[in-house]
Every structure is written in structure tokens, then in C-alpha cells.
Structure 1
Amino acid sequence: MADQFFGITDTGKQRQNNEDAFIAQQQVNSKFVIACVIDGVGGYSGGEVAAALARESILKRLEKPSGEIIPMLVDCFSLANEKILAEKQSVKQHDSMACVATLAIADMERNQFYYAHVGDTRLYLVRDQSLVKISHDQSFVGFLEDSGRLTEDAAMKHPKRNEINKALGFETQLSKNSDYIETGQSPFLPGDMILLCSDGLTDMINKNKILSIITGSGSIKEKCRGLIDAANEAGGKDNVTVVLVQNNKIPARHNATMPEANVNKPELTTTLTTNENQEVLHTKETPVSQTTGNKTLVIVLSLFTLLFLGTTIWQYLNKTQPAQPIAKPTIIIAKVKNDQEIKLQQSVDQLKGHILVLSDSVFRSPIILTQAIRVNADSIVIKAKGNIVFKSDTSNSGIAFSFLPTCKSIVLDSISFSGFKTAIVACNNVLKLKNVRFFNCGVPVQYGHLITSQKFISVTLLPVSFRADSLPIQSK
């Protein structure tokens, strides 16, 4: 796993000690990479001790991994919380110490990563030259920023920026509070990177600067050092810690295959109708005997006789019975796709990368759909620029978007659906909706799971969290 992960921490320009800690290592005899950033809270020595205790507890729990990954990550935080609470009770000087942490496990073989998070350290996903914030800051200012009520620049300068609501060492019954720890998982595709960092980085430099360093040239190690240097050049007011993990597999490229010409394929038929074909058939058969020919003649004459008698009887019956009305055949007219939905389906099928931007200068809104738009990409972000509304055709009350199970990650941003029986159908996908609205849709989202038949299944289906607001979330 050379050049797949690296971590580094720095005291910064204005602090005397470093209360941060990190983990960046491969699990023994495994294809997992453990990445963690811990930021201590509580004074000169307390925060440093809390971060060290948390790091020690996490590594000890992951020495012998067992059970499902996300519950194991939660267990790491619970054990760390217990250690810190015990230290606070035994040492008076440390009674106000705590720490915040973000822990991730990258499964390189299955192209997935899993995470647990408490506080205001951060987890980002880097994909297709974009930086996506995965974790949520558990602070009042973080809530304002995540909900779009504060811009990134305003949040960085807010006087209460570092006041947190949650941390390891705050809660005595952490294992009983299922909402305290933020957890999740996401596809980790070839070419992706995840960044874990303390607020000493994100308080100093913005997302654009971070992205430019990460996506620039150089090794993982050089990029980590570049982030540290940039934070220090901007002032270095706090300890700075970063961990980068990269899935350095080669991204798969699917090239379109041209159909082969029909002349190169053998034509399989069961009936030969032309005279030429009949001649070829006879040349391949063995000669027939005279006796067989006489029998064939007798059979043919008998058939003509029966046909003549049947015709006579049918004509007689038609003269004696009233004519029955002829039933009109049912004509089924296939609905023809309009130009807009043809263009949209082609845009989805021919998308290079993962981000599809729908501009109302290109797609006239509403986009009328007569059939479902089928999406088979590995991951996709569909984002509207302007007002984009998908509306059901009068003859189509079915589905707007159908995401196949092969589509692992889906993000729909700032689009609307109107008049569909089922707006979105997804199965075994990671689905994220941002500023999506539904008008008169019977079922806005239909989500399912594929489960192997006749097997013993063990699974925990986590509750889905919805956030509704009268105003859209502003993009950062």
C-alpha cells in the first residue's frame, strides 16, 4: 500500500504544545487502512492527555477487529470516552479535559470507507476535482455553516467558532446515547481520497485552497506537508493535523463497443421460403425413393379433397346464419420520447466523470418525462443550475428516475419532481438529497435492499434523518 496513506501533525505558530494526535496505518494482516484525527480540549496538559488516551483506546480495540465495522467504530469511541472519564475523576488537574475525533476505516478491496465522528474535526471526500464535506461540525457555528446560514469565510471568523457541543469526555453514558456519535459509510472509488483534519487546518485555509493542494502534483506525503505549510503561512493559530488516504487503483473506463456487421454473423432460420433456398435444401437432402413419392401424392390429393368439402360447408353456413360483426383490432400506440428526455438520457449514458449539471439554459423547464430515466453509473451527482423541474407526462404517472443497484453513490441537488406516482427508485445505493422538492408525488422516494434468498441475514437498518426547511441550503 505504498503512497496510499500518510498522516502528520504540527504544533503551529502560536501554541507551545501539541494537543492533537492521529492514526495512519494499515491494519495487521488486513486490507484495511485506519485513519484518525484527534484534537484535545482542556488546557495545557489536559487536552494532550485526552488525545493520547483516545488514540491508545482506539488502537487497542482495533487490534482484534470483530463484528460489523460501524458498531466497532462506535465501540472505539465508547472505550476512549470511558478512559478519559476515569482520568478526569482521578486527576483534578484534568477535570475539564476532553477531545474531539474523526475515525475512518478504508476497505480498499471492497472500495468502501466507514467513519465515526464526534466534535469539529472533519472528514472530506475528494472525487473528480471536488471536495465534499462528509462529517458535520457538532457546534452551533458548525450547524449554521452546514445549513447554509453562514458562509465558510464568515464561519472561519466567528468568535464562537471553537465552542463545541459534543466531545469524548463530555457524556457519561455514551454507549446508551445512539445519537451522540455521527456514523456512516460511502463508496471509496478508484482515484478517490479521504482527508481527515483538525480545525487548525480548516480555520486557517478554505476549501478551495485545500482542494488545490490535494489535487496538485506530488505524493501523499508532500500533499500533507503542503496543507500544514499553508495553515502555518495563514497564521498557524492552532495545532494542525491532517491524514490523507487514497484509493490508487486505476479508475475503470468503459468504452462503447461498435455493433458487428450482420454479414459477419451466421443467420439462423427455421423456415426457407424462397425458391433459391428450396433448391439449396433439396441439394443437401438424400434422394427420395419412388414409393415415398407415391405416398406423398396420395396425401396431397386427400388434403385437397378435405379442403374442398370444408369450403363448401362454410359457404352454406354463411348463407343460413346472419353475419357477425368483425371485432376491431386493438391498436396500442407507443409513447414517443420527447427531445428533452432523449437528450437527458443520452447525457446520463455518455457522462464522463460523475457530475452532471443540468442548466435551465439547455434544458427547458419543466422537463416532461414519458418514461423513467435509467441510471447505471457507478456514482453520479445530478445538480441543477437554475430552475429544473421534472414533470410527469399525462400518460405517465410512473417513475422519474430509476437508479440501478450497480449505482453505488447518488447525489441529487436543487431539482424538483412533479406529478409522479414514484419520483425516485433506488436499491442498495447511498442516496443523498440536497434542496430537492416533491410536488404531488405519491411516493417521493422508494428505497429497497437486495437480500440473498434462503440465507441467514444479519443487518442493522439505521433510521433516515430528514431535514426540511423553507429556504434552500446555500452551496459553499
Structure 2
Amino acid sequence: MVDNFFGLTDTGKVRGNNEDTFIVQSSRGGEYILASAIDGVGGYSGGEIAAALARESIIEYFENPGGDLTTMMIQALVNANEKIYKEKIEVKEHDSMACVLTLAVVDIKNNQFHYIHVGDTRLYLLRDGSLVKLTKDQSFVGFLEDSGRLTEEAAMTHPKRNEINKALGFNTGLENDHDYFETGSSPFLPGDMILLCSDGLTDMVNKKDITDILTSDSSLEDMAHQLIDAANAKGGKDNITAVLVRNDNPLQKQEAVKPSAVAKKKVVSNEKPGPEKIVADPVVLTPEPTRKKSNSTAVMLLSILSIGLLASTIYLLWMRGQPQAAQEQVLVADSAIVSGETSLSQQFGTLNGDTLVLNDSVYREPITISKSVNFDTDTLYVLSRGKIVLRPDSSFKGPAFLIPASGRNIVLNGLTFDGFDIGIASQSKNVRLEGVKFINVRVPVQFSFNAPSDSFMNGTLAEIFIRKDSLVVPIKR
């Protein structure tokens, strides 16, 4: 494979510095290709340093690759995260720095690639002229776009498109959090191409225009320049990075063989001695008794089922007229008060993933809470579709939601808390409210933390920024 990868980054038209960087190089004697788009977060030198630390850490880790590639990629990002977090602690000016990235390891020999992703950089696969986005943006706007609630055009101009939920440098201890990174693998067929890019490209250039560039007859270098130029032509509001890798292995051609012709000759030769069509007679005659038998059996089964259905219908009609039915209806009406809470608890308990969608077509009445809902996961998006109202039971005085200190990315969207003594009790500061309303709630949000007993403490209580209309101050990119 020659000239099969290329990367390019550009400051853009607005920013004064470039917080993006990238990796695209051979590894392990040409057996693998490392490709990564890295986007720094934090502004000024902080974002640049975080991106540089991540790049350095990944290259260093893959100098002697061995073992399972997915495991290696995870460990490489864990190591990078620890370096960035350590820098944040040691240098006060860099306390808000972080970075997002997508890394692909292309296995040339086996025609496949593996990838790992955190944040809102992207990985696309181009195959047969069709461009497919493989990664999911780990942001609220990205979720809305991936779920079909926002069009690509609306997401590209959304005021919160740069608010991210996950990044390297946000927290430490990621080696124990197996769900923090998105990982995957895909066949990488001859002629396929992958694009890794920062949001400086995809916020400016839509999918169709990117596809038109990638399906041209240009070289990878020319394509990368065309992508950068297209983003700058639309305003170049952010740093722009594009990394391209193409599989230019030769297409595998199968030799033309004629096994079917041989088979036909064998069949013809077997039938030559018997031209009297002796075999055809039993084929026509044998199905007749079988059909009659199956038809009679089917009629008998249908008759039995019809009689059973008629009997059950008569019984149900008789039961409907009995006095007990009224009592049962009363019991159902009484239990309707807690049915919404029971359904909500079941959804929390059986949730598979990090997103819970509450639909007002299911919760048509306010959900009555008689026991605090505990958030036992570190990442959770609670999104409402329509009007979702939570109200306390008459005897309930506790908080509606309890969020422990282990909560890293908690998003509450479109909920209304009505009449609680405490709406949300949180020990985590990583909670975002989107369009949340509090009505007659004595303490809308209560923040607390655990302190060691009988010890002196030093530090500053962090200020929580929430403003009217529940628009949280976003992470500055």
C-alpha cells in the first residue's frame, strides 16, 4: 500500500491558535496504521497541551503493540487521561483543559480496522460511494441528531452543539469505567476509505459535500485540502482537522469455474436409460392422499379452536355482568396513583444503556413519587418527550431524585417537579438541567458532599451556574 494515508489540520478563520492535532502513521513495521483526530478543550494553551499529551501518549503506547487491539486502545486512552488530569492538578492555569478524540487502528493484512472514541470528533466509513458515520457524538445535541430529533442542518447551527459530556481529562480512574469509551470494529475492504475529523469540519460542511469530495478522483492529500478549504469557505469558525486512510489492496478476483455444468451432465447421464418417465408418475400420484389427510386434520383443529374461542367469549361476557367487576374496577382506579411511579421505577431498574426517554403518551397523568429515585449509574440522560410532571405522594417529604457523588454525566431534560420539599438532592456537581421547571418546590436543587469527621478542611466551594430557563453555562470549546 502506497500513499494510502494523509492528515491535515488548520487553525480556521476565527481562532488565534490551533488546539487540534492528529496522528497518521504506520506501526509495527507497516502492519498497522494509526489514525486519530484530536480536539483540545479548554481554550488558549490548555487545549493545545491536552491534545499534545494525548497524541504523545498514544504514539508512545503503540511503539511496541501486542495483544488484543481493543484492549490496547482502551489502555492507551486511559494513560493519556491520567497524564492530562495530572497536568490539570499541577498547573492551575490548565485546570479546565481536556480533549476529545477518535482513534482508529487499521489492520492492513486482515482488511479491517478497530476504533475507540470519546467526545464529538467523528469517524466515517466510505464504501461504494456511501458515507456512514460510525461514532456517536457524546453530547446532548449529538444525541438529538443521532436519534432523529434534530436534522443535520439544525444540529450544525445549534447553540449548544459544542457542549460535550465526555472527554479525556474530566475525571480520573477510567480504567474501571468500561462504558466511558465507545469502541468498535469494521471490515475495511479494498477501495474503502475512513475519515477521522474534528467538529470544525462537520459543523461547517454537511455530509453530502463531504461525500462529494471523498468520491472524487483526487489524491488523499488533495481531498484533505479540499475538506479544509470547504470548512473555511463556510466561515472556518473552529480549528479543522481531517485524517484519511484508504485501503488500496488489490481487489480479490475469483476464478471462473463451471461446477454447475458438471452437475447437470451427471443428472442427464443418469436419466438416459429411463426415457419412459417412470419416475414422474409416482411424483404426481403420491401427494394426493397426503393432501386429503392434512386438510381433514386442519379442519378438525380449526373446529376445536372455534369451539374454545366461543366458550371463552361467553364466559367473559358472563363475568362482565357480575357485581365483582365493579369492585375490581375500583381497585384498578386506586392503584393508578402509583402505576406511573411503578413504571418509572421499572424503567430505571431495567435500563440498558445511558438514556431514558419518558413519553407523555405513556405518562399521561403526573407521576406520583412516594420514594426517592436513586441514580445508580455514572452516566444517565433522562429526556422527556412532551409534558412529564413529577409530584410527591401526600406523605412523602424526601427529594424526588438522589444523585450520588459517583454521577459523572447526569442530564435531566424537560421535567417538571411540582410540590416537593426537595426536588433534586445531589452529591455530584456533574449534573446538567435542560428546560427543567420547579413549581412550589421549597429547595429545587440541594448539593452536599461528604466530609471526614474530626478533621480540618481547606478549599473553596465551587459555584454552580444555573440561570433562568434552565440553560446551564456550557463547557467552553
1:172 Cα deviation after fit: 1.2
1:10 and 2:15 aligned:
no
Q: What residue is the counterpart of 2:105 in the other structure?
A: 105
**SS in structure 2 at match of 1:144:** helix
Rounded to whole Å, the distance in 1 between the matches of 2:289 and 2:61 is: 69
Aligned twin of 2:61: 61
Cα distance per residue 1:36-68 (max 9 Å; x no partner): 010000110000000000000000110111220
CA 1:229 to 1:261, structure 2 compared with 1: closer, same or farther past 3 Å? same
CA distance in 1, matches of 2:27, 2:229: 29
Structure 1 residues 28, 204: CA separation in 2 closer, same or farther (over 3 Å shift)? Answer: same
Query: 1:394-428 deviations in whole A, cap 9, x for unaligned?
Result: xxxxxxxxxxxxxxxxxxxxxxxxxxxxxxxxxxx
* 1:116 is the counterpart of 2:116: yes
| SS of equivalent residue, structure 1 residue 88 | helix
Partner residue in 2 for 1:187 = 187
Matched, 1:141 2:144: no
Distance 1:85 1:263, change over 3 A: closer
Partner residue in 2 for 1:168: 168
Give the secondary structure class of the aligned counterpart of 2:201: helix
Secondary structure at the counterpart of residue 117 of structure 1 = strand
Instruction: Supply the AA of the counterpart residue of 1:193.
Output: M
CA distance in 1, matches of 2:59, 2:127: 28
Decide whether the 8 Å contact of 2:31 with 2:107 is kept in 1.
yes
Partner secondary structure for residue 66 of structure 2? coil
CA contact (8 A) 1:97 1:169 kept: yes
CA distance in 1, matches of 2:39, 2:130: 26
Residue 174 of structure 1 aligns with an amino acid whose one-letter code is L
Q: CA offsets, 1:132-171, max 9 Å, x none?
A: 0000000000000010000000000000010000000002
Tell me what 2:197 maps to: 197
After TM superposition, the score normalised by the length of structure 1 is: 0.56
Separation (CA, whole Å) in 2 of partners of 1:163 and 1:50: 17
Cα distance change on mapping 1:19 and 1:271 into 2, 3 Å: closer
Letter aligned with residue 51 of structure 2: A
- The residue identity in structure 2 corresponding to 1:136 is K
Structure 2 equivalent of residue 159 of structure 1? 159
Work out the CA distance in 1 between the residues paired with 2:356 and 2:94: 41
Task: Please give the alpha-carbon distance, in whole angstroms, between the structure 1 residues aligned to 2:154 and 2:270.
Answer: 73
CA offset digits 1:117-141 (Å, max 9, x no partner): 0000000010111110000000000
State the match for 1:132 in structure 2. Answer: 132
Aligned residue-pair number:
292
Query: 8 Å contact 2:28–2:64 — kept in the other structure?
Result: no
* Cα 1:160/1:263, change in 2 over 3 Å: closer
Distance in 2 between residues matched to 1:211 and 1:202, nearest whole Å = 12
- Structure 1 residue 173 displacement after superposition: 1.4
Q: Which has the higher helix share?
A: 2
Residue 255 of structure 1 deviates from its aligned partner by 8.6
Cα distance change, pair 77–332 in 1 and its aligned pair in 2 (3 A): farther
Q: Distance in 2 between matches of 1:236 and 1:47?
A: 18
Going from structure 1 to structure 2, the CA distance change for 1:328 and 1:112 (only over 3 Å counts) comes to closer
**Counterpart residue type for residue 202 of structure 2:** T
What is the CA distance between 1:330 and its match in structure 2? 6.6
Map 1:197-276; keep pairs closer than 5 Å.
197-252=197-252, 259-260=260-261
User: Does the 8 Å contact 1:6/1:243 carry over to 2?
Assistant: yes
Distance 1:170 1:207, change over 3 A: same
Aligned partners of 1:25 and 1:35 also within 8 Å:
yes
Aligned partners of 1:330 and 1:73: how far apart in 2?
66
Aligned AA for 1:47?
G
Cα distance between partner residues in 1 of 2:287 and 2:38: 77
Which structure has the bigger radius of gyration? Answer: 1
**Residue 260 of structure 1, CA deviation:** 3.7
Distance 1:466 1:159, change over 3 A: closer
Give unpaired runs (5+ residues) of structure 1: 275-326, 334-463, 472-476
Letter in 1 for 2:205: I
Trace 1:312-461 onto structure 2 (pairs within 5 A): 331=290
Q: 2:28·2:65 contact (CA, 8 Å) conserved in 1?
A: no
Match of 1:28 in 2: 28
Residue of structure 1 equivalent to 2:71: 71
Q: Which amino acid aligns with 1:249?
A: N
Gaps in structure 2 of 5+ consecutive residues: 276-285, 293-351, 362-477
Task: Show CA shifts across 1:265-288 (max 9, x none).
Answer: 8987799899xxxxxxxxxxxxxx
CA distance in 2, matches of 1:328, 1:232: 74
The one-character-per-residue Cα deviations of 1:158-195 (angstroms, maximum 9, x if unpaired) are 00010000000002111111111000001111111110
- 2:19 matched to 1:19? yes
Letter in structure 2 aligned against 1:158 = H
Percentage of identical aligned residues:
57
Aligned to 1:218, the other structure's residue is in SS state coil
2:6, 2:224 within 8 Å by CA — same for their partners in 1?
A: yes
The amino acid of 1:34's aligned partner reads L
Amino acid in the other structure paired with 1:173: G
Asked if the contact 1:3–1:221 (Cα under 8 Å) also holds between the matched residues in 2, the reply is: no
Write the letter of the residue equivalent to 2:154: A
Aligned counterparts of 1:5 and 1:328: Cα–Cα separation in 2: 64
Q: Distance in 1 between matches of 2:198 and 2:174?
A: 22
Mapped contact 1:119–1:167 kept (Cα < 8 A): yes
Aligned residue type for 1:10: D
Cα 1:196/1:143, change in 2 over 3 Å: same
For residues 328 and 51 of structure 1, the distance between their equivalents in structure 2, rounded to whole angstroms, comes to: 74
In 2, Cα distance between the equivalents of 1:222 and 1:257? 42
- Measure how far apart 1:234 and its partner are: 0.9
* Shift in alpha-carbon separation, 1:264–1:24, aligned structure 2, 3 A: same
Letter paired with 2:33: V
Aligned partner of 1:90 in structure 2 is 90
SS in structure 2 opposite 1:45? helix
TM-score normalised by structure 2 residue count: 0.56
RMSD: 3.3
CA distance 1:264–1:273, change in 2 (3 Å) = closer
